[in-house]
A = this chain, B = another copy of it.
Amino acid sequence: MAATSLSSPSTTTAAILLGGWRRRTVAFPFRVTCSAAAAGGTVVIGLAADSGCGKSTFMRRLTSVLGGGTAAAAPPRGGEPGTLVEGDATVICLDDYHSLDRAGRKAKGVTALHPRANDFELMYRQVRALKDGRAVEKPIYNHATGLLDPPELVAPPRILVIEGLHPMYDARVRGLLDFSIYLDISSEIKFAWKIQRDMAERGHSLESIKASIAARKPDFDSYIDPQKQYADAVIEVLPTRLIPDDDEGEVLRVKLIMKEGARHFSPAYLFDEGSTISWIPCGRKLSCSYPGISFAYFPDTYFGHEVSVLEMDGRFDKLDELIYVESHLSNLSTRYYGEVTQQMLKHADLPGSNNGTGLFQTIVGLKIRDLCEQIVAERAAPPPALAAVA
């Protein structure tokens, strides 16, 4: 049951297409506060990661920052994953572009990670249409049944986030992205997390976990992992260096790798932009419990690009620590002092709220909000020639 609904013709507007609204849309806390057409187009953000690597947590932090509300944090009624809409942002899960359903993948012997299981042509056309201000009838992949459900109507939002396995795989889709993020979980941590979830909580055997990881690895290495070279921001999750030979995966070392020179994106930094710094905030003014907190900031190259890297090892134990750290970071694109801390506290229940994953996801969220505002402002401004006349 391959998805067949294509993007609407270019003359069709969101308003005209509302009559074609489908089943799932009704169930949503749908609230488009600003039509993309009025604002002059949709800003498109891509978020790539393997499954189980924190995309949904990241999305909840991002939509919270973008939408300002907490509705986005609640899954849509009915429980199906998929399009999540909050304020100006619409999130599309790229699993909806599976061209093969579960039975089809099994028959052809491919995983969902393989490009053959995904319809990049349709993905491109629909994202292109949304970016141009045209609504689309997007297919729906039902994770519960493993089947493709009838499509739903998606209106062009001000901000479109496409998240999933392959937002940067296809060059044409990639070309539509105004900003892209890759969540890069190191194999040690992925393994520790799977042990925690599948063995400790679900009773799977160590062998079956290892086998499942091994089965996914070739396609992951070939089709998912290489996308990180295109990302404007990569959040890399690594074993801690604060505890020797740690294999618990509870204390994490997290790197935020930020591309230099990306449009509308200026990397956050620690103390002195462009220099190399290591910082242990715990000392005379801030006391921390074992194993402490350690930061680094340095320039680097990443797949041939100049990048700036922020690194945090350790975890926050107390609110003090979080505020202290925020107050020493610069260029965070916050609207007020303490906004990072406030966002982290608001989502204290989400995984990673006490470590670098939560911190850097929140910072990336703020940078994306800033970028969207810059793009929207730029598009709303009169062209230079007109401005000169006025």
Closest to A279 in B: B277
Determine if A274 and B285 form an interchain contact, defined as CB atoms under 8 angstroms apart. Answer: yes
> Whole-angstrom distance between the alpha carbons of A312 and B86 in the complex?
51
User: Using Cβ atoms and an 8 Å threshold, which residues of chain B touch A280?
Assistant: 275-277
Q: Is A17 in the interface zone, CB < 8 Å from B?
A: no
Closest to A275 in B: B283
- Considering the complex, which residues of chain A in the window 266-286 have a beta carbon less than 8 Å from any beta carbon of chain B? 271-286
Closest to A276 in B: B280
Closest to A277 in B: B279
User: Using Cβ atoms and an 8 Å threshold, which residues of chain B touch A285?
Assistant: 272-275
Determine if B282 and A275 form an interchain contact, defined as CB atoms under 8 angstroms apart. Answer: yes
> Whole-angstrom distance between the alpha carbons of A277 and B283 in the complex?
11
User: A-side binding surface: helix, strand, loop or mixed?
Assistant: loop
> Whole-angstrom distance between the alpha carbons of A281 and B274 in the complex?
8
28 sample A-B contacts, Cβ–Cβ < 8 Å, listed by A number:
A271-B271, A271-B272, A271-B328, A272-B285, A272-B328, A273-B284, A274-B283, A274-B284, A274-B285, A274-B286, A275-B281, A275-B282, A275-B283, A275-B284, A275-B285, A275-B286, A276-B278, A276-B279, A276-B280, A276-B283, A277-B277, A277-B278, A277-B279, A277-B280, A278-B278, A283-B298, A283-B299, A284-B299
CB of A119 to closest CB in B, whole Å: 42
Copies of this chain, complex-wide, total 2
User: Using Cβ atoms and an 8 Å threshold, which residues of chain B touch A278?
Assistant: 276-278
User: Using Cβ atoms and an 8 Å threshold, which residues of chain B touch A283?
Assistant: 274-276, 298-299
Interface flags for A239-279 (1: CB within 8 Å of B; 0: not) read 00000000000000000000000000000000111111111
> Whole-angstrom distance between the alpha carbons of A328 and B278 in the complex?
15
> Whole-angstrom distance between the alpha carbons of A54 and B328 in the complex?
37
Determine if A271 and B275 form an interchain contact, defined as CB atoms under 8 angstroms apart. Answer: no
User: Using Cβ atoms and an 8 Å threshold, which residues of chain B touch A281?
Assistant: 272, 275
> Whole-angstrom distance between the alpha carbons of A328 and B330 in the complex?
14
Closest to A274 in B: B284
Closest to A280 in B: B276
User: Using Cβ atoms and an 8 Å threshold, which residues of chain B touch A298?
Assistant: 283
Closest to A271 in B: B271
User: Using Cβ atoms and an 8 Å threshold, which residues of chain B touch A282?
Assistant: 275
> Whole-angstrom distance between the alpha carbons of A276 and B277 in the complex?
10
User: Using Cβ atoms and an 8 Å threshold, which residues of chain B touch A286?
Assistant: 274-275
Given contacts A272-B279, A275-B279, A276-B280, 10 further A-B contacts (CB under 8 A): A272-B285, A274-B284, A274-B286, A275-B282, A275-B286, A276-B279, A276-B283, A277-B278, A283-B298, A284-B299
Determine if A279 and B274 form an interchain contact, defined as CB atoms under 8 angstroms apart. Answer: no
